[in-house]
Structures are given as structure tokens and as C-alpha cells.
Amino acid sequence: MKPKSNLNDGEELLGIYQDNSRWIDRLFSTASKRTVGFSTEINQFLPIVIGNLYITNQRVIFEDKASKNVNFSIFYDNISLISGDDARLLVAGNVKIHVKKPVIDNRELYRFSIKTGENIAGFIEHNFLNK
């Protein structure tokens, strides 16, 4: 599954993360271990918009699956700090991206619910931010 967003010249798709949350999680906009979503609140993880996350060699792309028009991308040169946690027994994983300039909503922090958040954040930091 490719993103709806057009990729730039020389941009390669490196990772595709699709939402596999339960119907009850989608109904209440909550996160579980299988959820891929974007937090609509700045200071907390809930509610979230369910969607797909794409990692390329230039940016992180989020596209919602709930027709809420929450589609955006964060280029690596705009990231000041990235961190994440992998999912645990009863806790959803997450990725937190601090940006230099806001992408949407005039915010400096974007939170995503995703099972392998620590691995994704480490991969991006190691391969694209420390250069």
C-alpha cells in the first residue's frame, strides 16, 4: 500500500505502518497495541485519528483513514528531536516528533500511536538526523 501523497524525485518508501486496531478502538478514537494514529491533542494521546504512517528517506507521512482530512508530512530537516516507546502489555507504543516549524495546528510536538515507536524513532534518528 503506497501513500496517497506523491513522493518527490529520489524519495524512497522505507516503511509502511497500517492501522490494525479493533473496531471498538476506532469507534472511541482510542489507542491499542495495534493502532496507528495521530493524537489530535497536544498534551495527551487521546483522542486520536486512525491512519497509516509512512517512512521515506526524506520524511514521515501520516494519512488518516477516517476521512478527517488529517494528512501531512514532516521532513527530517524540520525535526529537532524524536523519541518513542514500543508497545507493552497494556500500553500502546508511540512516537513523539518535535519540530522546528509547525506543520499543522501551530504545534511543535506531534504524537503518533504505533506499536514499534522506539524502533522507528531510533531508525530515523540514526539514519537521518545525525548527519
What's residue 131's pLDDT?
A: 63
Q: For residue range 88-99, what is the model confidence (pLDDT) as tens digits?
A: 988 889 999 999
| Average pLDDT score over residue span 12-33 | 90
Q: For residue range 107-118, what is the model confidence (pLDDT) as tens digits?
A: 999 999 999 999
What's residue 127's pLDDT?
A: 95
Q: Report helix, strand or coil for 14.
A: strand
- Here the cell at position 5 is 501523497
79 in Cβ contact with 98 (< 8 Å): yes
CA torsion through residues 3, 19, 92, 38, sign: positive
Does the reported pTM lie above 0.75? yes
Ordered domains of the chain (ranges, CATH):
13-129 (2.30.29.30)
Identify the bridge partners of residue 97 per DSSP, sorted by sequence position.
82, 110
